Amino acid sequence: MILYRVNNTHEPKNSGYAGVEVRVSKEDFIEWFMQRDFEGCSVDRINNHGHYELPNMQVIETWRNIAKDKVKIKGGNHWCSRCKKYKPKNEMVKSSKRKLMGVTTTCKSCDVKRRRDRYSRYSEEQKEKNRQRCREYYYRKKAEREAAS
Ligand SMILES: [Zn+2]
Q: pLDDT for 111-130, tens place per residue?
A: 889 888 887 888 888 888 88
How far away, in angstroms, is 29 Cα from ligand 1 center? 38
**For the segment 65-91, what is each residue's pLDDT rounded down to a tens digit?**
777 767 778 888 888 888 888 999 889
Domain chopping of the chain, boundaries = 1-70, 119-148
CA distances from 107 to 73, 78, 120 (A): 13, 9, 20
How far away, in angstroms, is 67 Cα from ligand 1 center? 16
Predicted TM-score of the model (pTM): 0.47
How far away, in angstroms, is 36 Cα from ligand 1 center? 36
How far away, in angstroms, is 137 Cα from ligand 1 center? 30
Q: What are the residue ranges of helices labelled H in 1-149?
A: 2-7, 26-34, 62-70, 108-120, 124-148
How far away, in angstroms, is 16 Cα from ligand 1 center? 20
